[in-house]
Chains A and B, each alone.
Chain A
Amino acid sequence: MDGTERMFERMVNEHQHRVFALSLALTGNRHDAEEVAQDTFLRAYRALCTYSPDRIRELKQKAWLHRIALNVVRNRVRGVRPRLVELNGSEPDHSPGPEAGALLKADIDALATRVAALPARYRDAVVLRHVQELSYEEAANALGQPVGTVKSNVHRGLKLLRGEEDDHAD
């Protein structure tokens, strides 16, 4: 295994859950989420193979993977769905651990579906800020938008999620 492959393996181990959670919040179901997460890492791998060692060392992996995942989702919406290998079988069931006691898997999936149904610009902002818990600066960076735009999109997105019409809550 060469250096790039070892590095990629570390990156997958470190970020797989974060990227999957991001993909779930953006797509709203686990099947699409696995496709998006897999495609995100596949693109990352192909890019890494072309990068110089210096560029790889300076890479901010988390932000970089977020940007790739957002692009993957956008491209799917445009209908340029990349062909992926068939993912066989049903998804393994994750029984809720003690920390998830308050919110069962079904509830999480229902929430993901609602988040994913938001208009894209609100959805992306809300997901980066409150699901992935990036700072506004990091989210703005990942989205390539000004911080103020992200803040207002997060705000509107949350209001839509809560089903509020008027501007009377936080």
Chain B
Amino acid sequence: MTTLIDLKRLGGVKAPAGFAGRLMAHVGMADSYASFETVLGTVYVAWNRQGVSAAARSASAAEFEEWFRKDVGRQLYAADPPADLAAKISDELEGRRRLRFDLRGLTEFEQAVLRKTREIPRGEIRPYGWVAREIGRPAAVRAVGTALANNPIPYFIPCHRVVRMDGQIGNYGGGGPEAKRAILDMEGVRVTRMEELARAGVRYQGVKTTKIFCYPTCHTGRHALEKNIVWLHDEASARAAGFRPCKVCRPGAVAS
């Protein structure tokens, strides 16, 4: 027997938990997020229909939400990730580029810095000045540093691969210099060796047989025999010694 009271109770049904969040994400007004277990430990990742919008190794979901709302300035709701996102995230962290990113809300300069930074291969490092020169703003080295410090998607946009030329590893928004060192180490960069070279004033590695000079981590110079390697201190002396810059890592102004 159906009574009007029963029908009224049917009218009192509540929307399921998370309904408003899924809806906001669906119309594009909010981002979704979830936590993922990765080689870097637990990483919170936010995404929307444009792509991944933020990442952080926050201590808790609440901390991530608070940081995201303040820093990115959009609403954020916990959600079940799309089926393939976890696989894409671990691929990305292992050096296969599979993610799209949402960089809306950043300035054009910041976007240019981050896009350029994404081109640095896993296992390699570049100085801040390289990013500045590559995006056509060679004098804006400090601004590059600031843009990288505010990278909303660390680990995935590899700001840890941009380091100082003087042998210091440089700041890192994704957990400080120690975290930066640990991630580079995991990616196969011999961090201590690189710091020693930098402190000794060495900037480039030249290969006598090819007459090409590279950044020391450039993969094209990796297979040179030890006896053929010369350590170079600056671009002018490298060119004077008959070396030309590598066309892959582009350590100097492109040869004329």
Q: What is A's interface to B at a CB cutoff of 8 Å?
A: 1, 5, 8-9, 12-13, 16-22, 24-25, 30, 34, 37-38, 41-42, 45, 84-89, 91-92, 94, 99-100, 102-103, 108, 111-112, 114-115, 126, 130-133, 158, 161-162
A21-B11, A133-B8 given; A161·B2 CB < 8 A: yes
Q: What is B's interface to A at a CB cutoff of 8 Å?
A: 1-2, 4, 6-20, 22-24, 26-27, 29, 74-75, 79-83
A sample of 18 inter-chain contacts (CB < 8 A) reads A9-B29, A12-B23, A16-B20, A18-B11, A24-B13, A34-B19, A41-B23, A86-B82, A86-B83, A87-B22, A88-B80, A88-B82, A92-B17, A92-B18, A114-B2, A131-B10, A158-B2, A162-B2
Residue pair B27, A21 in contact (C-beta under 8 Å): no
For A126, list chain B residues within 8 Å (CB): 7
- Complex CA distance for A24 and B19, rounded to whole angstroms: 14
Residue pair A108, B2 in contact (C-beta under 8 Å): no
- Complex CA distance for A126 and B18, rounded to whole angstroms: 28
Residue pair B82, A108 in contact (C-beta under 8 Å): no
- Complex CA distance for A85 and B1, rounded to whole angstroms: 38
Residue pair A162, B16 in contact (C-beta under 8 Å): no
Residue pair A45, B13 in contact (C-beta under 8 Å): no
For A42, list chain B residues within 8 Å (CB): 23, 26-27
Question: What distance in Å separates the Cβ of B33 from its nearest Cβ neighbour in chain A?
Answer: 14
For B17, list chain A residues within 8 Å (CB): 92, 94
Which chain A residue has the least Cβ–Cβ distance from B17? A92
- Complex CA distance for A38 and B25, rounded to whole angstroms: 11
For A132, list chain B residues within 8 Å (CB): 11
For B12, list chain A residues within 8 Å (CB): 21, 99-100
A88-B79, A162-B2 given; A100·B20 CB < 8 A: no
For A102, list chain B residues within 8 Å (CB): 9
Residue pair A16, B6 in contact (C-beta under 8 Å): no
A114-B2, A162-B1 given; A103·B82 CB < 8 A: no
Residue pair A111, B26 in contact (C-beta under 8 Å): no
- Complex CA distance for A18 and B75, rounded to whole angstroms: 23
- Complex CA distance for A5 and B74, rounded to whole angstroms: 11
For B74, list chain A residues within 8 Å (CB): 1
For A161, list chain B residues within 8 Å (CB): 2
For A92, list chain B residues within 8 Å (CB): 16-18
Residue pair A25, B10 in contact (C-beta under 8 Å): yes
A102-B9, A158-B2 given; A89·B80 CB < 8 A: yes
- Complex CA distance for A87 and B17, rounded to whole angstroms: 13
B4: contacting residue among A1, A30, A115, A130, CB under 8 A: A130
For A94, list chain B residues within 8 Å (CB): 14, 16-17
Max chain B CB contacts within 10 Å: which of A12, A30, A42? A12
